[in-house]
Structure 1
Amino acid sequence: MTTRSRNRITKLILALAMASAIAAPAVTLPQAAIAADSQIDKMRAKIAAFIGDKMEKLGGSRIVYKVDSDGMRESAVTDLRDEVYKTLRESKIAFSGLAIRDGGVEVKIADAKGREELKRKLASAAEGLPSHALAVTDTGDGLLKLKPTDAALAAGLHDLVDDSIAMIEQRLKDAGINLASVQPDGTDRIRIFLPGMMEPERVTAIFATKVKVSFRLVDLSMPAEQAQSGTPPAGSEVLLGFKDKRPYLVARDSALDGDDISYAGPAMSSSTNEPIVSFRFNGRGTRRFAHITEENIGKPFTIVLDGKVISAPVIREPITGGSGQISGNFTLEEANSVAMMVRAGALPGHLGLVDQQAVQPAAKP
């Protein structure tokens, strides 16, 4: 299940554990969420059984990856700091000393009402999102200490594994590999079985590099066709479109990249009823995108995925809400694929290869 689908069906009431060390009440998953996870587990079990039978008959490759759980934790704390900063600025709460320390975030707010307002808004933002649960300590001297709970980090790790599995499945499909089983293995590992494929290194090469997502401004100093046939200006390069294959002259430096994205998923445009990709920035990305769009109204920018331009909209107005859409005459399948790759570019860290081996078919009796 993807992060968004779980968030949509999992409406949890999150408690902020205060300095008095009152334990947050146990949170129970709604029946809809439990049923959905159960269905996915059953489907995975059926696929695993089918692929296991094929592996026994044909042999194949067994590959094990480990997700970057440390990177996930660091990303969670960084996102928390960005969210705190954004909330403080939007609410005009005076503060000082905002910093990451000891696996959490600290901020000094002299005004007691300001501290209460921050806690209330963070609690409201976290409602329904198990990976956003916080423990908040008010030391009484104006210092607030905020830290993701162990349950939140576990939920975040679960989401990371799910998103990594979805990304692996999509990239295998894009490579023409359809007979495969991609399953969770413990809390932070992913196991892949590929019947009939006796060279696992061919598959691991697909995941050797992280998907690259970038947002780049278009260079209008010369036509892209001229730059393609000649020499592009310094600091720019020519990239081709994802579908139309037309040339685009874009800045080499990224204004934003995958690390600035917190979510991407397929959607339908309310105005054209066509498949699109909806995305959302984290706190840092929201601020950077707002600044870029404010400074470049009327200019085009590109969204680049693994060296291909998937969209090149014109900035019509400042975009300060932290979310946007990617359109490109996509089919629904293409929108889902692009969203998956954008989300893969936002995954913290790389997949770490734990083991790869060729498995011989079982000996015939």
Structure 2
Amino acid sequence: MLNIPIWNRVLIWGVVVIGLALAMPNLFYDRVERHNDAVALIEETGATTDALEADRAGWPEFLPGTLVNLGLDLRGGAHLLAEVRVEDVYEQRMDALWPEVRDALRLERDVVGTIRRQEAPAGELRVQISQPEGMAAAVAAVRAVAQPVVSLTGIAQSTLDVRGENDVLIVTLSAAEQQATNDRTMQQSVEIVRRRVDEVGTREPTIQRQGDRRILIQVPGIGSAEELKLLIGTTARLTFHPVVGRAGSADEVPGSRQMVLPSLDEEGVYYILEQTPVVTGDDLVDAQPAFDAQTGQPSVTFRFNPNGARAFGEYTAANVGAPFAIVLDDEVISAPTIRQAITGGSGQITGNFTVQQSTDLAVLLRAGALPAEMTFLEERTIGPELGADSIAAGEIAALVAFAAVLVFMVLSYGLFGIFASVALILNVGLIFGILSLIGATLTLPGIAGIVLTIGMAVDANVLVFERIREELKTAKGPARAIELGYSRALSAIIDANLTTFIIAVILFTLGSGPVRGFSVTLGIGIMTSVFTAIYVTRLLIVTWFDRRRPKTIEV
């Protein structure tokens, strides 16, 4: 009656062996981590050293090398909460819209007269027309420039709101376009922050949007929050502007649509530039650190996409002999004179860079410019010592829970309790095996989920064993009692664990950060607990029963 097919037994033990094999590298965490880092570095650079070879040889290649990643609270690192100033994007959009609006109004010059751009609050474009009676035609012309909003919620709505007040035409982004712009800006900011963090090889960072305008950034293993701010806080906005002239100081008042910026290399030198750039860093497709062929100094080479290359080539061809400025984050890196048309779509940025500065600048440019400035609202540095204390505390909690459950099961159910205890040990190994396989990040709440799982793992066994006890009271033989105990307790086991698993899914879907870490380990623990209770414990009992063939059993 107690019959488990051979293929079923092989499959059960195969799953257990694979899970334990995947979990095994975590017992040698430092050695495997050094091995993985050495292999990745050798593959990336193509070069090797004795130290790298020693680290690579520290773990056999034929064994699994996947690890459970340690979160910020266990490894130490930096935590930042940043707010994105999306209003900056509105201002940039209006500035970029001006040439198109100007051309549209010039086509209606007979009706609107002469036009002149006025100073306006951020996010607004104001244009004065000399013939106020032509305001209706001006509004219609600018509305024709607008496009449909590109978003699921703004379908069939215009990107621009256009209205006239006396002789001034006012253009702003519509509410639907502002919302779509906010979403795009946040998505772009999250992606660029992720690229910048990934470029320096940090482990399993947590970068996610919180609310409408905030980004949570947690990077384990990095030295400090200040170091992380320097990495991601630089806007790295590269622009190319026509040079109007030089200014005597930063206080000099420029003309309309002009700005005064300081020189990065020359002390006390300021340039007057056209405010609207010719080309921006958004058109860059690559940036790499290099050395200037003439001076041998560190530099950064860059390459434009086709649109940027065309605009840059047309401008330089039309302005041979005129200076233009390369501006990075509101500082003029250099202001060379255009000797000839630059049509190749590539160039070089030179300055008083060190090798590290040129490398960092290339990383920032390659990752892309942040679309808007970020303000850091919260910052924390968690030392590795605190992470080690958290790991030690989690280990103690897990061991105490583990020991208490083992003692309870053995005292309550004797030999069957020992079988359940073995299954519980295998259960914990399977949890770490799955966490390693999916590359999950373990946090302190995740350890809490594992500890909770240890306590819940024996529930299924308790249901089965109590059911076997009941069946033994009806004078059925031990084999029949064991079979009925498992079959009749199955529905209760599935119901109890399914409801808990649904809660874990809800926590993962609606939660963030620590809540998700808890739900992941809880959900995985529920699945492994059901597997070990229904299959592993039963296989142990059936194997023992086949060998001993006892006339009676005590549970």
Using the size of structure 1 for normalisation, the TM-score is 0.52
Does 1:137 find its partner at 2:156?
A: no
Q: 1:217 to 1:51 in 2, by over 3 A?
A: farther
Aligned pairs for 1:62-81 within 5 A: 62-81=79-98
- Other structure's SS at 1:159 match: helix
Separation in 2, partners of 1:79, 1:119: 16
Amino acid at match of 1:264: D
Aligned partners of 1:88 and 1:118 also within 8 Å = yes
Q: 1:262 to 1:328 in 2, by over 3 A?
A: closer
Deviation of the 1:184 alpha carbon:
1.1
Aligned partners of 2:239 and 2:280 also within 8 Å = no
Deviation of the 1:299 alpha carbon:
7.0
Separation in 2, partners of 1:238, 1:75: 27
RMSD of aligned residue pairs (Cα, Å): 5.0
Number of the residue aligned with 1:164: 189
**Structure 2 counterpart of 1:87, from 77, 89, 104:** 104
Separation in 2, partners of 1:62, 1:74: 30
Does 1:55 find its partner at 2:72?
A: yes
Number of the residue aligned with 2:516: none
Aligned pairs for 1:239-254 within 5 A: 253=271
Amino acid at match of 1:352: T
Deviation of the 1:253 alpha carbon:
4.0
Aligned pairs for 1:180-259 within 5 A: 180-197=205-222, 199-215=224-240, 253=271
Number of the residue aligned with 2:357: none
Deviation of the 1:293 alpha carbon:
5.6
- Other structure's SS at 2:222 match: coil
What do the CA deviations read for 1:128-185 (whole angstroms, capped 9, x no partner)? 656971123357x776443211221122222222222233223323444353222111
Q: 1:97 to 1:302 in 2, by over 3 A?
A: closer
Aligned pairs for 1:1-365 within 5 A: 54-55=71-72, 57-81=74-98, 83-89=100-106, 92=109, 94-96=113-115, 98-99=117-118, 100=120, 104-107=124-127, 108=129, 110-111=133-134, 112-120=136-144, 122-123=145-146, 126-127=147-148, 129=150, 133-137=159-163, 144-197=169-222, 199-215=224-240, 253=271, 264-265=282-283, 276-278=303-305, 294=318, 296-297=319-320, 303=326, 315-316=340-341, 326-327=345-346, 338=365, 340-341=367-368, 343-344=369-370, 347-348=371-372, 350-359=373-382, 360-361=386-387, 362=390, 363-364=393-394, 365=397
Separation in 2, partners of 1:155, 1:71: 15
Separation in 1, partners of 2:168, 2:274: 32
- Other structure's SS at 2:305 match: strand
Deviation of the 1:84 alpha carbon:
2.1
Separation in 2, partners of 1:51, 1:70: 40
Q: 1:340 to 1:157 in 2, by over 3 A?
A: same
Q: 1:337 to 1:178 in 2, by over 3 A?
A: farther
Q: 1:252 to 1:113 in 2, by over 3 A?
A: closer
Aligned partners of 1:261 and 1:279 also within 8 Å = no
Separation in 1, partners of 2:362, 2:220: 29
- By percentage of residues, which structure has more helix? 2
Where relative contact order (Cα < 8 A, 6+ residues apart) is larger, the structure is: 1
Deviation of the 1:101 alpha carbon:
5.8
Deviates more, 1:178-187 or 1:205-214: 205-214
Q: 1:142 to 1:70 in 2, by over 3 A?
A: closer
Q: 1:197 to 1:175 in 2, by over 3 A?
A: closer
Aligned partners of 1:213 and 1:257 also within 8 Å = no
Deviation of the 1:85 alpha carbon:
2.6
- Other structure's SS at 1:110 match: helix
Separation in 2, partners of 1:316, 1:184: 43
Aligned partners of 1:300 and 1:315 also within 8 Å = no
Using the size of structure 2 for normalisation, the TM-score is 0.36
Amino acid at match of 1:58: R
Aligned partners of 1:55 and 1:194 also within 8 Å = yes
Aligned partners of 1:61 and 1:193 also within 8 Å = yes
Q: 1:200 to 1:303 in 2, by over 3 A?
A: same
Deviation of the 1:214 alpha carbon:
4.3
Deviation of the 1:313 alpha carbon:
8.1
- Structure 1's unaligned 5+ residue stretches are 1-49, 219-234, 240-250, 269-274, 318-323
Aligned partners of 1:135 and 1:149 also within 8 Å = yes
What do the CA deviations read for 1:181-224 (whole angstroms, capped 9, x no partner)? 22111111111111233622221132454325243789xxxxxx
Deviation of the 1:237 alpha carbon:
8.7
Aligned partners of 1:213 and 1:303 also within 8 Å = yes
What do the CA deviations read for 1:110-136 (whole angstroms, capped 9, x no partner)? 33545433322x12xx24656971123
